[in-house]
Structure 1
Amino acid sequence: MTVNQHLTTFHGMNVVTFPEETTEAWRPPAEPVAWRLAIEPWDGDESFPELWDRFMSTVDPSTVTAVVIGQWAEPGDDIRSAIVIERILQARDKMPALTGIFLGDMISEENEISWIEQSDVTPLLENLPALTELGIRGGDGLVLKPVRHTNLRTLIIETGGLPREVVSAVAQCDFPALRELRLWLGVHEYGGNWRPEDLEPLLAGAKFPSLRELGLQNSDKQDKVCELVADSAVVRQLTTLDLSMGVLTDKGGEHLLSLTHLTNLDLTHHYLSKEMRKQILQTLPPAGVRVILDDPQEPDHYDGEPYYYTAVAE
C-alpha cells in the first residue's frame, strides 16, 4: 500500500492548487483556503523558486493561512526541502497569518514516500512562533532538533521509516499546547531504526500536558508500541489512540484491553486473530470506546515463512 491521494483538506480548510499559469483576470477564491504549491517536475519549465515568487506576487501573502507543499524538484535531483523552508522563512514577515504548513504532499506516482528528500525542519519551529500545525511526509534526510514551541497544536510526520534521531528529538521537544501527534514509525529497511528508549520522554507525558490524540502508526514493531503505550503515563490523558497501519498481532492486542478510558482506538490494518478481535470488541466498546477495526491483513509467504508488512513502506 502506498500514499495515493493528495490532501484535499488541511488546517481546517479545503486545499486549492495554485495554478500553473495565472493571467491578469485570475482571482483567488473568496473563502480562506490552504494553498497547494507544486511544480510539474517532468514537463514544466518553472522551478520551485520561480513558482514561489509568482505565488507571492499574485496572492496577497498577508492573507495566507496555510500552505501545502508538493513537488519541489524532479525526483533524484538531490534537491531537498531546504529550498522550500528557505523561501517560507524569507517571507515570514509578509505572511503574518501563516499558521499551517504541510511539507511533502506527494503521492507514489510522483515520488515514493521514502524517496522524498527532506532536510532540517527545525528552523520552521524556531522562526515561526505562531505556527499551530506542521505536517511532514518523507523521512529521507529528515532532521529535527529538540525545540520548545508554545503554540504548536498538531504535529504529523508520515514516513516509511522514521530515523531514531527524529523520534528521539520529537520526544524531547517541549510542546505545551500540542493536542495531536502522529508519527509513522515505518520499517527498518527504510530507516525506521528507533528503539524503545527513544520514545520514553514522550510516553512520560510531562512535556506534552495538552496531548489528547496520539498516533504511533505504520510500524513493523507495532506489538512493542502497544506494550510501551499501554504502560505509559501519557496514555491516561489521551482520548484518541491510533495504532493503525502496522504489524499488530495478538501479542500487542493483549496490552490494549485495559484502555477502557479512551474515546477512540484505531486498529485498522492489523493481523489480529478472530479470538483477539472478539476480546477487544467485548471489552472496549461496552466501556464507551469507539474501536475502528477492519478485516485482518493476510501475510505473504516466502519459502513457507509468513511475511507481515506495514501499510506504507517504500
Structure 2
Amino acid sequence: MTFHSHDDTFAGLPVTEFPGGTATGPTAWRVSFEDEDVSQASLSEGFRDVFETFLTAHGATTESLVIGPWGYAAFAYAPLEQLIAAAPRLPRLRSLFLGDITFDECEISWMKVGDVSPLITAFPQLETLQVRGGEDFSFSPVASDGLRRLVVQSGGLPAGFTAAVLGSAFPGLTDLELWLGTPDYSGDTRVADLRPLLDGTLFPQLCRLGLRNAEIADELAAAVAHAPVVARLESLDLSMGVLSDRGATALLAGQPLTHLRELHLQHHYMSDETAAAVVAALPETRVDVSEPQGEDDDDRYVAVSE
C-alpha cells in the first residue's frame, strides 16, 4: 500500500484546492504545484508564485493549511523557509499538513523535507502538525504550549527523529502518531528508543497514541502490554504494521485494556482465530482488525514503506 489519493479532510475540515477550488464555509486550503521540470533541485518558482497568491487572497483568514507537491519532492526540498517567512501573514493558522503527496507525484521514501521542527516555533498558535517525508527527514527538540496533535508519516523513521520528538516539551499534547516503518528506509527506531514515552513520563495530557506502520509491531505490542502510559489512553493504534499472533497474544496477556475506547490493529498478520479473540476480549472497545494480510512469516510488509 502507498498513498493513492489526497486527503479529503484535514483537522476536521473539508479540503479545498488552491487555485481552482471554492470554499462555501470553513475549509482547509490545499496549496500545491507540480513542476514539469523534475530535475529542479531548488524550490519551484511555480510553487513560490502560487503560495504568494494564496497568501494574498486567504492568508489572513486561514486556520487550516495543507501543502501538497512543491515541485518534484524527490529533488526539491520542502518549502520550509517560505512557510516560516510567511508566519506573520498566517496569523490564524492552527493546523498544518506538510506533504500531502501521492505515490505518482513522489514516493514517500524519496521526499526531501528537512527539519520540520522550526514550523512549531514559527507558528506558536499551531495546535496540529502533520508531516510526511522520507529522505533527509528530521526533527530537533522544541517546545510548544499550544501543540495538541503531532502526526509523523514515514516509511522509515530514524531513531534520531524519534528521540528529538520525545525530547521536546509539549505539555498540552493529547495525540501522538509515529509511523515507524522499516530499516530498509532508515526506520531504525526500536522499542528501547520509545521507553520514555511508554513509561508515561512524557506528555502528561496524552490520551491517543499511534505507533503505526511498524516492522517491529510484535515487539511494540509486547512492550505496550506492560507500559504505564496505556492506563491513561483512550485510543491505541498499532495498525499498518506486521502484527502477528505473537504480538497480539502478548498484548492480551498484559495489563487490562478494557478502558480503551478504540484499539486499531488493521493491516495485520494475525490468524482469524487470534483476531476474533482480541475482539471478544474487549467487548466495550471499538476494535478494528480489518485488512488481514495472511500468516506467511516470509512475506510480511508494513503498509507504507517506499
Say whether the fold is shared (TM-score over 0.5).
Answer: yes
Q: Counterpart of 2:65 in 1: which secondary structure?
A: strand
Which of 127, 130, 152 lines up with 2:125 in the alignment?
A: 130
Q: Counterpart of 1:62 in 2: which secondary structure?
A: coil
- Preserved CA contact (<8 Å) 1:215 1:241: yes
**Cα deviations across residues 86-138 of structure 1 (Å, max 9, x unaligned)?**
12221211211011110000011111111111111111112221000000111
- Preserved CA contact (<8 Å) 1:222 1:246: yes
1:294 paired with 2:290, answer: yes
For residue 274 of structure 1, report the CA deviation from its aligned partner.
2.7
Letter in 1 for 2:277: Q
Distance 1:299 1:114 in 2: 26
Q: Counterpart of 1:307 in 2: which secondary structure?
A: coil
Residue 29 of structure 1 corresponds to which residue in structure 2? 23
Distance 2:15 2:37 in 1: 23
For residue 30 of structure 1, report the CA deviation from its aligned partner.
4.4
**Cα deviations across residues 258-313 of structure 1 (Å, max 9, x unaligned)?**
3222111011011112332232122112xx1111112521266xxxx722111111
Distance 2:12 2:139 in 1: 25
Q: Counterpart of 2:69 in 1: which secondary structure?
A: coil
1:165-204 equivalence runs, <5 A: 165-204=160-199
Letter in 2 for 1:308: R
**Cα deviations across residues 235-279 of structure 1 (Å, max 9, x unaligned)?**
111011111110101111013223222111011011112332232
1:157 paired with 2:152, answer: yes
Which of 59, 62, 65 lines up with 1:61 in the alignment?
A: 59
- Preserved CA contact (<8 Å) 1:39 1:46: no
Gaps of 5+ in 1: 21-26
For residue 69 of structure 1, report the CA deviation from its aligned partner.
0.5
Residue 40 of structure 1 corresponds to which residue in structure 2? 34
Q: Counterpart of 1:136 in 2: which secondary structure?
A: strand
Residue 206 of structure 2 corresponds to which residue in structure 1? 211
Distance 2:140 2:291 in 1: 39
**Cα deviations across residues 181-210 of structure 1 (Å, max 9, x unaligned)?**
111100010110112221111112232111
Alignment coverage as a number of residue pairs: 298
Distance 2:280 2:23 in 1: 49
**Cα deviations across residues 7-27 of structure 1 (Å, max 9, x unaligned)?**
11112211111016xxxxxx9
Q: Provide closer, same or farther for how the CA distance between residues 268 and 14 of structure 1 changes in structure 2, counting only shifts above 3 A.
A: same
Residue 259 of structure 1 corresponds to which residue in structure 2? 257
Distance 1:235 1:39 in 2: 42
- Preserved CA contact (<8 Å) 2:180 2:214: yes
Distance 2:214 2:154 in 1: 10
Distance 1:148 1:250 in 2: 39
Q: Provide closer, same or farther for how the CA distance between residues 295 and 132 of structure 1 changes in structure 2, counting only shifts above 3 A.
A: closer
Letter in 2 for 1:253: A
Identity rate of aligned residues, in percent? 41
Gaps of 5+ in 2: 39-43
Q: Counterpart of 1:74 in 2: which secondary structure?
A: coil
1:242 paired with 2:237, answer: yes
- Preserved CA contact (<8 Å) 1:213 1:241: yes
Letter in 1 for 2:232: Q
For residue 40 of structure 1, report the CA deviation from its aligned partner.
2.0
Q: Counterpart of 2:171 in 1: which secondary structure?
A: coil
Distance 2:139 2:73 in 1: 22
Q: Provide closer, same or farther for how the CA distance between residues 75 and 130 of structure 1 changes in structure 2, counting only shifts above 3 A.
A: closer
Which of 89, 94, 100 lines up with 1:94 in the alignment?
A: 89
Q: Once superposed, what is the RMSD of the aligned Cα atoms?
A: 1.9
Task: Report the TM-score, using the length of structure 2 for normalisation.
Answer: 0.92
- Preserved CA contact (<8 Å) 1:171 1:198: no
**Cα deviations across residues 205-245 of structure 1 (Å, max 9, x unaligned)?**
23211111111011111001111222111111101111111
Residue 311 of structure 1 corresponds to which residue in structure 2? 303
Which of 247, 267, 284 lines up with 1:269 in the alignment?
A: 267
Residue 80 of structure 1 corresponds to which residue in structure 2? 77
